[in-house]
Every structure is written in C-alpha cells, then in structure tokens.
Amino acid sequence: MHINKTGALRGDGAWNVETARGPGSLMLTGNAASDVFDYVFGDVDGTEWAVPGCVVPGGAVYVLTFTKPTYMGETQFSQSMRKVDDDLASLKRLLEGA
C-alpha cells in the first residue's frame, strides 16, 4: 500500500494513519439511505482533503471523486492518483481472494 501504511481507530470515530508523508487522520462518513460514503483525509501539515464517494446500488461498485487541491501541483496530483489506483487494485485483489 502506498497511501496509508497503518491505522488506529480514535475515540471520535476517526483513524490515526501513518502515510508515506508521515502521520495523518482519516474520517469516514456514510449514509446508508443515500448510498453516500465520503471521507476526509488530514495530512501531516494539517491540510484536509475531502473525497466524496457513492456506493452504486445493485453491485459492488464504489465511486470516488478526487478533486486536485489548490495547494497541490499537477505532477504531484498525478503521482498521487497513480498511487491511489495501485492501492485500490491491491484492495480489489484482497477482496476477491486473489
């Protein structure tokens, strides 16, 4: 995994995570009635990145929308998205038992 290397649940429902860039936080929120499953990632420097998501009814499809933060350059954003793709592919393999 590239993005989150370890995680520990905090008392407020968020996770303390260790990333390639250092410590951070991850807060997951969901609403089963609307199939919304969002998260907010807090970086080591205190910057937050909200990532909206939605579970598509009738199948195992999860859609995430990544918007490039204003503080992040195009190259860094592209590199980060490649790492996210790699991590999601790893997660898919784990879930499918490969």
Q: 10-residue block means of pLDDT along the chain (98 residues)?
A: 69 83 84 82 84 78 82 89 83 70
Count of domains observed in the chain:
1
pLDDT of residue 70: 85
Question: What pLDDT score does 74 carry?
Answer: 94
Q: How many CB atoms lie within 10 A of CB 70?
A: 5
The domain in which residue 89 lies consists of 4-95
Confidence at residue 81, expressed as pLDDT on a 0 to 100 scale = 87
Determine the Cα–Cα distance for residues 98 and 93; give it in Å rounded to an integer: 5
Q: Is 77 helix (H, G, I), strand (E, B) or coil?
A: helix
Tokens of 38: 């969002």
State residue 3's pLDDT score.
61
Q: How many CB atoms lie within 10 A of CB 36?
A: 13
Centre a 10 Å sphere on the Cβ of residue 28 and count the other Cβ atoms it contains. 12
CATH value at residue 19:
3.30.530.20
Q: What is residue 75's predicted lDDT score, i.e. its pLDDT?
A: 94
